[in-house]
Structure 1
Amino acid sequence: MDSKQVYLPSLVFLLSLVSLVKCSNWCYTGCAETPSHWEEMPGSSCGGQRQSPVNIVTSNVTADLALNDFIFVNFSSQHTIKLVGFNGHSVQCTLMDNEVEVSGGGLNGTYSATQFHFHWGDKEPHPGSEHTIDDNRYPAEMHILTIKKGVTTEEAKNQSDGFAVLGFFINGTDNGDLSGAWHTLTSTNITGSSVDVEVSFNFSIDDLLGDVNRKQFYRYHGSLTTPDCDEAVVWTIFHEPIQVPHNLINRFSENTDLVNNFRPAQPLYGRKVTASPATPLPPVSEHHWCYDSHCYYSPPQWSEMPDSYCGGQSQSPINIDTHSVVMDNTLGSFTFKNFDKGAINYITNTGHTVECVLKDNMVEVSGGGLKHAYSTLQLHFHWGTKAANSEGSEHTVDSHRYPMELHIVSKRKDLTLKEALQTSDGLAVLGFFIEDSQSSKRITSSSGVSSSDMRPWTKLTSYFSAIQNISSQVKVTDVISIDDLLGSVNRDSYYRYSGSLTTPSCNEAVVWTVFKDTVKLDHNLMMMFPKYTTFQDIYRPIQSVNNRKIYSTSAAEALRSILLYPLLGCLFALVP
């Protein structure tokens, strides 16, 4: 056995290296310069529009015949890895100079491989790949970094294709080779004071990659995924993952005290992702939409989707110009049936928002100028980012956008959902703005319950950890009523207009009620929405009013509602 190589049953070397890592001015968690602040660092390109990683939406990927087979030089050599180390951000294997090369695969030239490293999560089932496929994140990801031959590192940083990175997803298996290349790599012991330690492995890069089909891959232009995030990378993401036993993957997080060392997915900003001809792609008929530019159908393109009404003349949301609203004395009080009951059946991550699905045929809305009775189906939310001053409501009032907005969606009781979507008043949506409970003081209701009581919202958000994956859902066992969530909001003062759903296919079938009063919510609870879903700025831009009338409850009615609470307070004060 080579004296430079010692095998142990765990990744002991990483533990010994943690104390040796030099301080860095960025991190994934635990310091000021987390990924959301990388763009603020001096000399950083992390705020650019060609950033990596990205979410690859396979239905938006097109095949490119120019993406031919790769040529891999010395990938089968067992003597190309010269150093292994932990740099505080990843485990990195440094390769012998000018020995490993990559060409073909649609690359413009030959590239020399310099190192490969890894990204991981926090033990399974908390995945940590940087790139995602249709929002699916793999347990880990391996990056082989190569630089174009004939250029220096500094020159490469200033060329759009100066680097070529080969990305391989790593998937966990219940069984597999526990004595091969991955065992050797994750069992290496490093001693001494050097972060990088010389090794003499008896395995090759091919041994690590296993049976991955290297004819199937995705291609796009992006950046390095760590500061300074230079936009100089031709990315190749292989479709098939490397299969590695779970316990070997877990050694990365177990022994480094480093978890979740992956950058969140970045917007595409119009970039196209292509694929090699051999890559399996879904049928063209499957369409995906999103709020930002990480997919083909971003908001400006929603009207181009099949069977879409998003280009219509009565679209939502809108800006409510209070100077042009029309007072309507027929807009009276609502009748809310079972809003005081625990009606939430389950909570789900739709891939676009957090949605609370209600128990069937339990909650109803009528009155309030509505011409029909409506059965309430679900409620969902729109929000901005994790920033303290984030704004994410869909509707705006005099161009002011609130931090969040709650939509309670109801369907006419006399119609099927399909019929309701094709009827101008088939749906009724109640919109409530949400703002920080500390932004202003709130008068308590006549029941004596303060609107700052966050217990119902604390219960609601406690379920979010169970819906971090798209399409996941969790049964609600707590009694949480809609009344609990709305608190003491004045429901007699509101705006009314005819509009549409605010997500594709944007059917113009909605009677909109937007309440003037706001729900007050603790800022930390607001942050649970972007934290657990990772969705940000999930609101549609303002749509043109197009001569539609916006109505309002009468001034006298609004004044009566505003004066009600103080008056009741005075009356109670007189009771002996």
Structure 2
Amino acid sequence: MHLSLLFLSLGALVKCADGSDWCYHGCEHTPKKWADIPDASCGEKRQSPINIVTGDVKTDHHLLNFTFVNFSSQHAIKSVINNGHTVKCILEADEVEVSGGGLNGTYSTLQFHFHWGSTEYHPGSEHMIDGHRYPMEMHIVSVKKGLSVQDATKDSEGIAALGFFINATDDGDMSGPWGELTSYLTNITGTEVDMNHTISIDDLIGNVNLTKFYRYMGSLTTPMCNEAVVWTLFQEPININKKLVQRFPMTTGLADVYRPQQPLNGRHVFASPATPLPPSHSWCYEEEPCEYKPAHWLNLPHSKCGGERQSPINIETRDTVSDVRLDAFNFTKFDDKHAIMHITNTGHSVKCVLKEDMVEVSGGGLGYVYSTLQFHFHWGSDESDGSEHKVDSKRYPMEMHIVNKRKDLTLEEALETPNGLAVLGFLIEAKNAQSSSSGHRETHPTSDMGAWEKLTSYISAIHNIGSEVNVTDAISIDDLLGDVNRAQYYRYNGSLTTPSCHEAVVWTVFKESVKFDQNLMTMFPAHAGYRNVYRPTQSLHNRRIYSTKSASSAPVAITLLLLLACLCAFSYNLHL
């Protein structure tokens, strides 16, 4: 085998162009920074891995059965190496091949390798199915015959990767093919060990049904992230004993060796005709045609929408509890006029995605520093208002959500942590209305109309669902919020307001509304193509809603506390 073939790998040891190593964690070029590697494609639009939402997958009748040559050979695996990023099994040259399965040609199989997590409670497959991450994933890497390695990385279909999910079971053979393979695991990197056992690829795959698979166009999942891969993910997992799964992190010293999921960016995922697909899992709001309307979101796969800490809610101001710990926020780079990277039509909202690791939020009683990821909007129609939260049963015309993730957590970890996300909710009204829906007269705009005019000018360019456009105008979040009082707000613990409704959100809803021109507000439903995109309010389930302490209410609050203390020896501090 030519030496260069050893380095064609989704898990190969690859040097960055500037001479430094990439890594999963613990060095300069972690996955978030792979896009900064010179000449790498890691920040492009056809990246892998992805989350496969089975309800959105379409059947492709051209995805017929594969032809596997020498997958049953018990002498095809030449050697095993820990390359510092994964464990890779190198195959004999020009012996193993794969074709069929909708592939455009025959591919020579070079090697297979693995991705894993750290413990049985922290799985490590790269791809996910409906948000579910398996303990491990095996990638079998092949190059199109007739292409050099270099040419294959430049061809959109130059590489075929077969992905197998690996499931950890409580039982299973400890001495079979997987037991033999794991005997070659070592924490010594860079040393290639000859394979002395007779193990075939088929032995490792076992009884997985190879006619059931998903297909999409993607990339290598390690730098240089070349967008040259035809991906096949088999639906059925390989089942092995969980003790064998644990040998990978424990023996190699490598943990969480997987790249986080990447945006689909309008790509389609297809399935072979043999793959059973569930009824459409596409969710929608009340007025849209689909099976999973808000009342049925709890029936979606892996849904948390039936929990008791759901959002949005109706904030009854008289029932809120004043909390002196709700202090001032610190907003970092909210004034940066180039922090907004692009704006996209998700099919459910208009979302503005921010540049990574630039904008931050802290203070405000949050207890952690949060990275700001994006902000998006909810709206109604000409006939009805569309904010998600209500205040004293009043629904506002629109609502803006600024979504932030704890800096010390990955997004996946944040979704499983009660305070992993912090969302800032700003209610929106029309500045030029003679009176608001609650009957009181509006007296002043709170926002920079020029900023809103710039932002809404992009909406007409994203009429198609899934489309996005780069933001080139100078617009900051501060420009959009204007002089809204950010010192006065409500606080409660809740959830995401869209499926899968993870109960991971510390909610802040600001008391004063953002106000801008009514004509600009109408551009959201007019150009996005849908209306009334809000979830109905959810039951509070005995949760407390806290409020910042205003100076005007202090004497009343003190009197009330003294009265309560006298009557029932009640301490306010007990409730937090």
TM (normalized to structure 1)?
0.56
CA distance in structure 2 between the aligned counterparts of 1:252 and 1:432, rounded to whole angstroms: 44
Amino acid at match of 2:267: R
Contact persistence 2:82–2:186 (CA under 8 A): no
Match of 2:165 in 1: 169
1:387 is matched with which residue: 353, 357, 382? 357
Q: State the superposition RMSD in angstroms.
A: 5.4
Deviations 1:314-334 (A, max 9, x none): xxxxxxxxxxxxxxxxxxxxx
Residues 432 and 280 of structure 1: is their aligned pair in 2 closer, same or farther, counting only changes over 3 Å? closer
Q: Kindly tell me the number of residue pairs found equivalent between the two proteins.
A: 388
1:519 Cα deviation (Å)? 5.3
Residue 183 of structure 1 aligns to a residue whose secondary structure is helix
CA distance in 1, matches of 2:99, 2:274: 18
CA distance in 2: counterparts of 1:534 and 1:37, whole angstroms: 29
Partner of 2:132: 136
Counterpart in the other structure of 2:37:
41
> What amino acid does structure 2 have at the position aligned with 1:79?
H
Question: Does structure 2 retain, via aligned residues, the 8 Å contact 1:434–1:519?
Answer: no
- For residue 85 of structure 2, what is the aligned residue in structure 1? 89
Contact 1:140–1:169 (8 Å) recurs in 2? yes
CA contact (8 A) 2:376 2:400 kept: no
Give the whole-Å Cα distance in 1 for the aligned partners of 2:373 and 2:258: 26
Distance 1:162 1:432, change over 3 A: closer
1:202 CA displacement? 1.2
The 1-side partners of 2:226 and 2:401 are apart by 40
Tell whether the 8 Å contact from 2:317 to 2:392 is kept in structure 1 after alignment: no
2:374 counterpart SS class: coil
Which residue of 2 is the match for residue 554 of structure 1? none
Q: Percent identity?
A: 43
* Aligned twin of 2:144: 148
Q: Taking structure 1 as reference, are residues 191 and 392 closer, same or farther at Cα in structure 2, changes over 3 Å only?
A: closer
Offset of 1:200 from its aligned partner? 2.0
Q: Is the contact made by 2:78 and 2:194 (CA closer than 8 Å) also made in structure 1?
A: yes
Residue 546 (structure 1) aligned with residue 546 (structure 2): no
| 1:255 matches 2:225 | no
Aligned to 1:231: 227
* 1:99-142 CA distance string (max 9 Å, x none): 11001101111101000000001110211100001111100100
Change (3 A) 1:122 1:194: closer
Query: Aligned partners of 1:163 and 1:274: how far apart in 2?
Result: 18
Alignment partners' CA distance in 1, 2:156 and 2:146: 15
- In structure 1, the partner of 2:282 is 287
Quick one: which amino acid aligns to residue 517 of structure 1? N
Separation in structure 2 between the aligned mates of residue 194 and residue 473 of structure 1, nearest angstrom: 37
The one-character-per-residue Cα deviations of 1:146-182 (angstroms, maximum 9, x if unpaired) are: 0001110001011111000000000010001111011
1:188 Cα deviation after fit: 2.1
Counterpart residue number, 1:502: none
Partner of 1:525: none
Contact in 2 for aligned 1:409/1:430 (Cα 8 Å): no
Q: Does 1:364 align with 2:316?
A: yes
Residue 46 (structure 1) shift: 0.6
- Please give the secondary structure, in 1, of the residue aligned with 2:243: helix
Q: Are the counterparts in 2 of residues 410 and 429 from structure 1 also a CA contact under 8 Å?
A: no
Q: Secondary structure at the match of 2:230?
A: strand
Quick one: structure 1 residues 190 and 56, their matched pair in 2 at CA, closer, same or farther if it must change by over 3 Å?
Answer: closer
Measure, in 2, the Cα distance between the counterparts of 1:222 and 1:193. 28
CA distance in 1, matches of 2:24, 2:73: 34
Any unmatched runs of 5+ in structure 1?
Answer: 1-17, 290-296, 310-348, 368-381, 397-405, 413-424, 437-456, 477-481, 500-512, 522-532, 537-541, 550-563, 569-576
Distance 2:246 2:410 in 1: 21
Distance of 2:426 and 2:211 partners within structure 1: 61
> Aligned ranges for residues 312-327 of structure 1 at < 5 Å?
none
1:422 is aligned to: none
Is 1:56 matched up with 2:32?
Answer: no
Contact 1:120/1:253 (8 A) holds in 2: yes
The answer as to whether partners of 2:156 and 2:229 remain within 8 angstroms in 1 is: yes
| Correspondence for 1:242 | 238
**Cα gap change, 1:251 to 1:411, in 2 (>3 Å):** farther
Q: Deviations over 1:268-293 (max 9, x none)?
A: 11111000000010113x3147xxxx
Cα distance, 1:434–1:264 mapped onto 2, change above 3 Å:
closer
How much has 1:546 moved relative to structure 2? 3.3
Paired residue type of 2:37 = M
Q: Answer yes or no: is the 8 Å Cα contact 1:128–1:260 preserved in 2.
A: yes
- Contact 1:160–1:231 (8 Å) recurs in 2: yes
SS of the aligned residue for 1:392 comes to strand
- What amino acid maps onto 2:222 in structure 1? T
Relative to structure 1, the CA distance from residue 303 to residue 219 in structure 2 (aligned partners, 3 Å threshold; closer, same or farther) is: farther
1:516, CA displacement in angstroms?
A: 1.7
1:474-504 CA distance string (max 9 Å, x none): 7x9xxxxx9xx99xx999x9989669xxxxx
SS of aligned partner of 1:79: coil
Measure, in 1, the Cα distance between the counterparts of 2:521 and 2:154: 51
**What amino acid does structure 1 have at the position aligned with 2:358?**
A
Paired with 1:158 and 1:543, the residues of 2 have a C-alpha distance of: 48
Residue 121 of structure 1, aligned match among 117, 120, 129: 117
- Which residue in the other structure is 2:274 paired with? 278
Contact kept in structure 1, 2:83 and 2:190, CA below 8 Å: no
Q: Which residue of 2 aligns with 1:182?
A: 178
Which amino acid is 1:109 matched to? G
8 Å CA contact 1:190, 1:197 repeated in 2? no
State the secondary structure of the residue aligned to 1:45. coil
Does the 8 A contact of 2:313 with 2:389 survive in 1? no
Give yes or no for the alignment of 1:517 onto 2:485.
yes
Asked whether the 8 Å contact 1:121–1:139 carries over to 2, the reply is yes
Structure 2 CA distance for partners of 1:46 and 1:543, relative to 1, 3 Å: farther
Query: What is the rounded CA distance, in whole Å, between the counterparts of 1:435 and 1:206 in structure 2?
Result: 46
Helix, strand or coil: the match of 1:38? helix
Tell me the SS of whatever aligns to 1:255.
helix
1:108 maps to 104
Query: Separation in 2 of the partners of 1:184 and 1:259?
Result: 21
CA distance in 2, matches of 1:519, 1:356: 25
Counterpart in 2 of 1:206?
Answer: 202
Q: 2:185–2:248: 8 Å Cα contact kept in structure 1?
A: no
User: 1:142-541 alignment to 2 at 5 Å?
Assistant: 142-188=138-184, 195-284=191-280, 286-288=281-283, 306=290, 356-357=309-310, 364-365=316-317, 387-389=357-359, 390=372, 392-394=374-376, 408-409=389-390, 412=393, 427=395, 468=413, 516-518=484-486
For residues 384-443 of structure 1, give each alpha carbon's deviation from its aligned partner in whole angstroms, at most 9, with x where no partner exists.
Answer: 6761324634469xxxxxxxxx9744684xxxxxxxxxxxx6x4699698799xxxxxxx
Query: 1:260: Cα distance to partner?
Result: 1.0
